[in-house]
Amino acid sequence: MEYRFEESYPLFRRLVPMIDRIATGFTFTEGPVWRGSDLLFSDIPNNRTVRYRILGEGPEVTTFRTPSGNANGLTLDHQGRLLACEHSGRRVSRVNADGSVETMADNYEGKRLSSPNDIVVRSDGSIFFTDPPYGLKNQSEGRETPCNGVFRLDSAGRLHLLVDDFERPNGLAFSPDETTLYIDDSAKAHIRAFDVAVDGSLSNGRVWAELKGAAGERGVPDGMKVDSEGNVYCTGAGGIWVFAANGRHLGRIHMPEVTANLAWGDSDWKSLYLTATTSVYRLRMNVAGVPVGPSARR
């Protein structure tokens, strides 16, 4: 396995000490989320959600849900229920404790969503997600909404369109204090930052970081996470781009496969799990990530 670090500042080595490939043999992995004692992630073309866990005799890889609606981004709500952005289902769904699946959002003002992509839950329980057209045939056939939007689903089940001027909105993540929401645009290869109001509305959108790779480097801004110190980790050309909270580029982790998404996990939240095309990798970090699910700060 080949990977290498590209660093601009000593802080980068403090953040990123080591990496391991923990599973492989998939078609296209995405949407990892840590669920207490196991890792769930999407294998999109195979229409399933995969579960990875360590048992006494070693790692076990099983199917958690199939069909999954060709789910992409995954996260947990504060009750530990799985939320999924379904491409072919064209909805955000929730898997309840009894295994039943229900629709959380599938239309805006009577028009079907295109293909929800990535998702995050705020401390008040509201759900933020992106809706680019990647899951549509030719990325256009069957489209009903007039934009590639960023949405918020409030606690009453009302869906709000927050931003409508992205070309391909994709990964999103809150700063640790939730006053800033970062959203990347895969087509424009940048991250935008927005101020978040108490009511969940967004304002002061600005380009926060550029992720322009060198010629021949594969990958685009896609999945994104933030650690407890406010450092931002975003997949992009060549691997994982890491930025300080002030927007300064700290360095990159060049991966052997195109990397689509990432998630914090393990009991100390110091493992960063990466879904990279056919494989899943784990980085043991020196700084903890921001927990999700019942462990999230509220």
pLDDT of residue 15: 57
pLDDT of residue 3: 47
pLDDT of residue 77: 97
Residuewise pLDDT in 10s, the chain (298 residues): 444 555 554 455 555 556 889 999 999 999 999 999 999 999 999 999 999 998 877 899 999 999 999 999 999 999 999 999 999 999 999 999 999 999 999 999 999 999 999 999 999 999 999 999 999 988 888 899 999 999 999 999 999 999 999 999 999 999 999 999 999 999 999 999 999 999 999 999 999 999 998 888 999 999 999 999 999 999 999 999 999 999 999 988 888 899 999 999 999 999 999 999 999 999 999 899 999 999 885 5
pLDDT of residue 65: 97
Q: Which candidate, 179, 141, 150, 146, places its Cα nearest to that of 73? A: 150
CATH architecture of 4-295: 6 Propeller (2.120)
Map out the domains of the chain as residue ranges: 4-295
Q: What is the pTM of this model?
A: 0.93
pLDDT of residue 141: 86
